[in-house]
Amino acid sequence: MIRYPADQATEAEADRHGIPYPVLIRDLVRIVEVLNLERQGFFGPQSVLAGSLALRCFNTPRFTVYDADFATTVEAKRGRSEMHDMLRYVDDDLEITPAELMPHDTGGTAWKSEPIAYLPAFTDLAPDGTREFKADISNRGLVLPGQEHQLHLPYDLGIWDEPPVVWIMDPHEITVEKVLGWVVHRAAKHYADLAFIALAGQPESGPLLRLDRTTLRNALAAKLEAMRGIQPDKYASFASLDDVVRALRADPVFSRDEWDRLVYLRPLRDRFNQATLKRAVQTLLVPLLLSEGD
């Protein structure tokens, strides 16, 4: 699946980036899980890697530490027992054992497996109490077909010769999911990812990804309509796209605890401060969500 690194190399790379050893091991295990699903044919235009792990394809500096997010169309949805079996993985150096999938909401439109336990025989850097992660599988549908991109890692452990190509959620849809995640749930990780997306689209960044205003607004309108039907209570305050943009434009407030849980690679921690995140979202992203006349 991958070439499992020696502990000495893992320690050196973790120290270089300021990542705790067990967190880096968990990341390797999540990468194996993604490749495990890819080999079983899970991924395609209607079944994608989503969330912050998908942003790895664009070199996000934020290091996610626990979740792995996946999304499918209603038509591509797997049964719970089938999905559970697909998440299971065993080789000579690693065993991944998922918990039973449980519904995220009363409609059963999303599932989670938590904890997904693992036994990493390839390392001594994952003590008891650190060997688990979570998988979220949304079956609520996609408003845009998935895209194929190379999956990049923010560290270098020589685990493959060429980065694998995986199907990920369209960046426009990732963006609108993060927008709704922020305005409805006020999770700092969503705001942090939105700031990265805004900065990654700038000419000086390459750009790493490109966002089209019309596509972005249409995707947000479609996703908002879908979520208002699925979770009407949570979305009662957001009757229109303008309501969402107004909430996104407001100054963010992060609790100290939530801010401290964000993990950035060491060389970029000072750059991605709260002022930078606020400026990126309010001055770069919000204008893309406004109509041409606003």
Q: Which of 15, 254, 250, 26 is nearest to 127 (CA)?
A: 26
Q: How many other β-carbons are positioned within 10 Å of the β-carbon of residue 246? A: 13
The alpha carbon torsion through 269, 61, 144, 49 (nearest 10 deg) reads -120
For residue range 81-105, list pLDDT tens digits in order.
Answer: 999 999 999 999 999 999 999 998 7
Q: What is the rounded average pLDDT for all residues in the chain? A: 95
For residue range 153-171, list pLDDT tens digits in order.
Answer: 999 999 999 999 999 999 9
Q: Is the pLDDT of residue 292 over 80?
A: no
pLDDT confidence tier of residue 1, bands split at 50, 70 and 90: confident
Question: What's the predicted TM-score (pTM) here?
Answer: 0.95
Across the strands, what pairs with 49? 70, 168
Burial of 68 (C-beta count, 10 Å sphere; 0-12/13-18/19+)? buried
Q: Is the pLDDT of residue 193 over 70?
A: yes
For residue range 213-267, list pLDDT tens digits in order.
Answer: 999 999 999 999 999 999 999 999 999 999 999 999 999 999 999 999 999 988 8
pLDDT of residue 151: 96
